[in-house]
Structure 1
Amino acid sequence: MSTAPDRRGQGSGTPGGRRSGRLRRRLGRGDLPAVKDVRHGLRELLRRCGSQSSADVAELLTSELVTNALIHTDRGAVVTAGVGPAGLRVEVRDFTDGQPEPYRASDESTHGRGLALVQALADAWGVRTHEVGKSVWFELEGGQV
């Protein structure tokens, strides 16, 4: 896995003095240690773009989606994050069928809260199907990022 951020699209300004930028990571099957690297890369992207106000929320939601993709699928995943005038958009693509469904975890449960957190904290989120697999995405609006 590459740890250097994708610098394409940087340098163009966005309202509020922020710069735009992108991050892209390909993660291998079951590569849970890579979740930490993705969080670090996302925080660096947000820092470079001057969009750190919601870095903690962005990291949490990204971690949840990446972990879900690596735990609940039998292939790797691709993470893409972009900062632009509208804010931050993160997509986590996996290569298996089946739609993720949020469910209410019990107080004793140690899992099952990921999509509920995304629903509660993101300004928008959804699932986009592909010919092979799907992408689960979320957005944080410009004023929050």
Structure 2
Amino acid sequence: MAHQPGCALHRRLHAALDAADLPAVAAVRRRLRAALEHWGVAPELADTAELLASELVTNALVHTGRGAVFDAVLTEASRLRVEVQDGAAQVPTRRSAAETATSGRGLLLVEALADDWGVQLRADGKTTWFELSAA
């Protein structure tokens, strides 16, 4: 059976990122924004998704010293789920950022803006994820 562009199989974005490839974070943001626009997601949701995805990908690349795998899926139930897998088993923790600090707020943003989020430990590392309602 042929699948139409709007079907679930076409509502998935996947990217593999090399260790320390911080320029790839911008590429993931651009690809996510383009995919969400193609899927008909509201620009406000795309803004939030882009910000939170950027935080998770950056955390994976900076704090693990390894590469990462990025996946975004828009489900039939109009929920956007973004997952970032990395090879480190250390669970990310919220840090207290000084007022003038340029880092340390990523998980606070995810916690504040996502409808749901979490970390799933795996045999080969972990998956950090968030969900947003696109309805």
Does the pair score TM above 0.5? Answer: yes
Matching residue of 1:26: 16
Q: State how far apart, in whole Å, the 1-side matches of 2:65 and 2:52 are.
A: 21
Root-mean-square deviation over aligned CA pairs? 1.8
Cα deviation digits, residues 25-73 of structure 1 (max 9, x gap): 0000100000011001101110111013311110000000000000001
The CA deviation at 1:108 is 1.9
Contact 2:17 2:24 in 1 (8 A): yes
Distance 1:111 1:9, change over 3 A: farther
Name the count of aligned residue pairs: 131
- Equivalence for 2:53: 62
- Please report how far the alpha carbon of residue 89 of structure 1 lies from its aligned counterpart in structure 2 after TM superposition: 0.4
2:125 matched residue in structure 1:
133
Q: Deviations over 1:73-121 (max 9, x none)?
A: 1210000000122310000010011110112212021110000000000
User: By percentage of residues, which structure has more helix?
Assistant: 2
Out of 14, 35, 38, the residue aligned to residue 28 of structure 2 is 38
Q: 1:9 to 1:108 in 2, by over 3 A?
A: farther
Measured against aligned partners, the alpha-carbon deviations of 1:9-39 in whole angstroms (never above 9, x if no partner) come to 84327xxxxx960000000010000001100
TM-score (normalised: structure 1): 0.84
TM-score, normalized by length of structure 2?
A: 0.90
Distance 1:114 1:9 in 2: 36
Does residue 49 (structure 1) correspond to residue 44 (structure 2)? The answer is no
Aligned residues with identical type, % of pairs: 49
Aligned partners of 1:9, 1:135: CA distance in 2, in Å? Answer: 30
